[in-house]
């Protein structure tokens, strides 16, 4: 351990407290800070560190993001959101951004970042989704296209009841979600696709572009749906995608 | 409907390709065999099969390898790894770090922390060593794998991993592992104090010595009952009623609900009843005033 991390830690211990300007530190050094070091800094210094990390485009580990966010949530104004690294946003406490303006400002940023660094059922992710729905004034399980757009990546977590009640607005978004749907979402999506409603219409009228558009939803199809799609359409389409690994690329 | 149907000879596939996408469920079950899938797993990964179809394929592979997949297949699993369960992985022998790294990449950000941890565990069981890159990858997943590491391997875990540990991550750790992790965590959190420190060290208290718990009892930490129940039994029973009361703060009332369960029951047996009475919780089973407790372990010596 000493051989692997000791050197950096010793260097940081010496450097962090005495550095007037974190921006002057090399990216490698910024990359190796520990939560203990962040805990030892004042709130203002944590903010400066976060800004420096953002400016240097340093990719932090989850635990580093979590402890930076923890400290930043103490005193963060909506106007600071642009200055801190976007990766920190999913870890911030949305309760720090109450009120229509503050929550909209927070949501507009957090909806665009990769929230998948947080486990799906993690309290942090659920907290973000609930705060986002409340910020949009969503009651019940109906969301509009505008809501889905505003929720952004958070919309991937909307449960099956939302999929069933808002299929037209939600399915195209779920199709592009990077994580597989959970069982609840999967069943609701399958029912909606089988039902033939908008936006995809009945499977018997699907074309290659419908199949392209389905993306991640393809995996939820069952045999009755598959056999409803014109076979010639599916066969040609399958031949094409199986030869090109690009569909895996989009999944990743 | 439950009758097993035979595969029509003309439907028996020689290769895995997109034609299988159109097979009925029963045809996939009757016609596709595990050997073909194992040999052509790369082709399985190329066709966008549905979850239902993939589930049949997995079942076929499981049937073909009831003792677990061989390493030659594990190395080529790639995306198919996502459909495997903890139980599947626990049957594996993995000796190649390259394989571990490739599969961890597939698992990354796919809510597969438990599978990733199990994979690493299987690799370590074979005495495999983890390099820094792999440990860094592991630092991004829930550290549920800590309890399967040996004392030497625990020592190789970067200290920052300890910052992400949640109490339930250590549920399957042995006392020996907890005893190792506790001082390691103390060191990792040495620069924080007060409630922040307690919040972090809480997950590791299953390895805490009596002196540290006594120190917490004077710090208004309000330990919750779940944490209290995970304290090492031998240490817990040595704490006095006064110390436990201070340690639990408002959670002390939780002792009532746990009165008949270990470890609270064991603790009650070791306390003077008059001290327990002072708590006003109606706890029974302490040592009555004027009585001694004989350690029955010495019964044979007496006789």
3-class SS string, chain A: CHHHHHHHHHHHHHHHHHCCCHHHCCHHHHHCCCHHHHHCCCHHHHHHHHHHHHHCCCCCCHHHHHHHHHHHHHHCCHHHCCCCCHHHHHHCCHHHCCCHHHHHHHHHHHCCCCHHHCCCCCHHHHHHHHHHHHHHCCCCCCCCHHHHHHHHHHHHHCCHHHHHHCHHHHHHHHCCCCCCCCHHHHHHHHHHHHHCCCCCCCHHHCCHHHHHHHHHHHHHCCHHHHHHCCHHHHHHHHHHHHHCCHHHHHHC
| pLDDT of B163 higher than 70 | yes
**CA atoms lying within 13 Å on the CB side of residue B26:** 8
Q: Which positions in chain B touch A60 (Cβ < 8 Å)?
A: none
What confidence score (pLDDT) does residue B233 get? 92
| Beta carbons within 8 Å of A74's beta carbon, 6+ residues apart | A43
| pLDDT of A8 higher than 80 | no
For residues A199-222, average pLDDT: 94
Q: Which one of A26-40, A55-69, B196-210 scores highest in mean pLDDT?
A: B196-210
∠ Cα B133 B135 B140 (to 5°): 100
Q: Please name the member of A4, A39, A235 whose beta carbon is closest to the beta carbon of B196.
A: A39
Q: Please name the member of A40, A245, A247 whose beta carbon is closest to the beta carbon of B191.
A: A40
CA distance A27 to chain B (A): 17
| pLDDT of A13 higher than 60 | no
- The least confident of A89-98, A116-125, B246-255 is A116-125
Which of A113 and B302 is assigned the larger pLDDT? Answer: A113
For residues B65-92, average pLDDT: 94
Which of B117 and B205 is assigned the larger pLDDT? Answer: B205
**Interface-testing mutation among B16, B26, B48, B113, with chain A (most A C-beta atoms within 10 A):** B48
Looking at every residue in chain B, the average pLDDT score rounds to: 88
A252 and A217 Cβ atoms separated by less than 8 Å: no
Which of A51 and A147 is assigned the larger pLDDT? Answer: A147
pLDDT 10s digits, A113-140: 888 778 777 888 999 999 999 999 999 9
| Chains A & B: contacts with CB separation below 8 Å | 97
Residue B159 to residue A222, Cβ atoms within 8 A: no
What confidence score (pLDDT) does residue A119 get? 74
Q: What are phi and psi of A245, to 5 degrees?
A: -80, 10
∠ Cα A2 A6 A11 (to 5°): 165
Question: What chain B residue is nearest to A238 in terms of C-alpha separation?
Answer: B18
Question: What chain B residue is nearest to A34 in terms of C-alpha separation?
Answer: B160
> What does the alpha-carbon distance between residue B154 and residue B159 come to, in Å, rounded to a whole number?
10
Give the confidence band of A20 by pLDDT, cuts at 50, 70, 90: low
Q: What are phi and psi of B272, to 5 degrees?
A: -65, 135
What confidence score (pLDDT) does residue A16 get? 59
Helix (H, G, I), strand (E, B) or coil at B272: strand
Q: Which positions in chain A touch B17 (Cβ < 8 Å)?
A: 242
What confidence score (pLDDT) does residue A48 get? 86
CA distance A194 to chain B (A): 15
Residue B49 to residue A219, Cβ atoms within 8 A: yes
B295 and B261 Cβ atoms separated by less than 8 Å: no
**Interface-testing mutation among B19, B50, B77, B78, with chain A (most A C-beta atoms within 10 A):** B50
> What does the alpha-carbon distance between residue B259 and residue B267 come to, in Å, rounded to a whole number?
9
- The least confident of A19-23, A158-162, A208-212, B277-281 is A19-23
pLDDT 10s digits, B173-222: 899 999 999 999 999 888 888 888 898 899 999 999 999 999 999 898 99
What confidence score (pLDDT) does residue A215 get? 86
Q: Which positions in chain B touch A234 (Cβ < 8 Å)?
A: 21-22
Nearest Cα to A53, choosing from A39, A72, A40? A72
Q: Report the b/e string of B140-159 with b at 16+ CB within 10 A.
A: bbbbbbbbbbeeebbeebbb
Question: What chain B residue is nearest to A229 in terms of C-alpha separation?
Answer: B22
pLDDT 10s digits, A98-119: 889 999 999 999 998 888 778 7
Which of B109 and B99 is assigned the larger pLDDT? Answer: B99
Q: Please name the member of A61, A117, A186 whose beta carbon is closest to the beta carbon of B139.
A: A61
**Interface-testing mutation among A2, A4, A7, A63, with chain B (most B C-beta atoms within 10 A):** A63
ipTM: 0.74
The conformational region for residue B194 under phi > 0 = left, psi -120 to 50 = alpha, else beta, is left
Q: Which one of A175-179, B71-75, B82-86 scores highest in mean pLDDT?
A: B71-75
| pLDDT of A26 higher than 90 | no
């Amino acid at each position: 351990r000493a051989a692997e991390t000791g050197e950096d830690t010793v260097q940081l211990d010496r450097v962090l407290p005495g550095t007037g300007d974190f921006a002057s530190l090399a990216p490698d050094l910024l990359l190796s800070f520990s939560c203990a070091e962040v805990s030892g800094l004042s709130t203002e210094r944590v903010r400066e560190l976060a800004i420096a990390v953002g400016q240097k485009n340093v990719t932090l580990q989850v635990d580093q993001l979590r402890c930076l966010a923890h400290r930043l949530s103490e005193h963060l104004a909506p106007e600071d959101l642009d200055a801190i690294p976007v990766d920190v946003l999913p870890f911030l406490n949305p309760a720090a951004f109450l009120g229509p303006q503050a929550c909209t400002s927070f949501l507009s940023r957090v909806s665009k970042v990769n929230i998948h660094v947080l486990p799906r059922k993690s309290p942090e992710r659920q907290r973000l989704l609930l705060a986002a729905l409340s910020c949009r004034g969503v009651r019940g399980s109906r969301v509009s296209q505008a809501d889905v757009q505003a929720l952004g990546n958070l919309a991937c977590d909307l449960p099956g009841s939302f999929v069933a009640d808002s299929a037209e607005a939600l399915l195209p978004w779920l199709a592009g979600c990077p994580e597989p749907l959970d069982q609840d979402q999967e069943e609701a999506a399958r029912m909606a696709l089988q039902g033939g409603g908008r936006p995809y219409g009945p499977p018997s009228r699907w074309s290659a572009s419908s199949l392209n558009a389905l993306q991640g939803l393809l995996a939820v199809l069952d045999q009755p749906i598959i056999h409803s799609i014109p076979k010639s359409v599916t066969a040609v389409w399958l031949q094409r995608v199986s030869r090109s690994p690009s569909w895996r690329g989009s999944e990743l | 409907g439950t009758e097993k149907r035979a595969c029509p000879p003309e439907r028996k596939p020689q290769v895995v390709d997109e034609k299988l996408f159109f097979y009925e469920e029963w045809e996939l079950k009757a016609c596709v065999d595990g050997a073909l899938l194992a040999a052509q797993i790369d082709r399985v990964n190329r066709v966008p099969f549905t979850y239902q179809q993939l589930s049949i394929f997995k079942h076929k592979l499981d049937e073909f390898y009831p003792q677990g997949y061989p390493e030659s297949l594990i190395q080529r699993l790639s995306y198919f790894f996502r459909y495997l369960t903890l139980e599947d992985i626990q049957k594996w022998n993995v000796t190649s770090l390259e394989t571990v790294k490739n599969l961890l990449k597939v698992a990354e950000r796919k809510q597969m922390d438990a599978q990733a941890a199990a994979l690493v565990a299987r690799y370590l069981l074979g005495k495999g060593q983890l390099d820094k890159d792999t440990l860094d990858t592991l630092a991004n997943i829930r550290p549920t794998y800590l309890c399967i590491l040996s004392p030497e391997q625990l020592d190789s875990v970067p200290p920052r991993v300890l910052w992400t540990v949640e109490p339930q991550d250590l549920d399957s750790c042995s006392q020996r592992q907890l005893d190792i992790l506790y001082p390691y965590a103390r060191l990792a959190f040495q620069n924080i104090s007060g409630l922040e420190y307690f919040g972090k060290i809480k997950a590791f208290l299953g390895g805490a010595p009596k002196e540290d718990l006594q120190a917490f009892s004077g710090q208004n930490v309000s330990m919750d009952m779940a944490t209290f129940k995970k304290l090492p039994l031998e240490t817990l029973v040595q704490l006095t009623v006064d110390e436990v009361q201070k340690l639990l703060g408002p959670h002390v009332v939780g002792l009532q609900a746990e009165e008949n369960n270990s470890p609270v029951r064991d603790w009650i047996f070791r306390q003077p009843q008059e001290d327990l009475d002072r708590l006003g919780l109606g706890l029974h089973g302490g040592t009555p005033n004027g009585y001694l407790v004989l350690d029955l372990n010495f019964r044979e010596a007496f006789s």
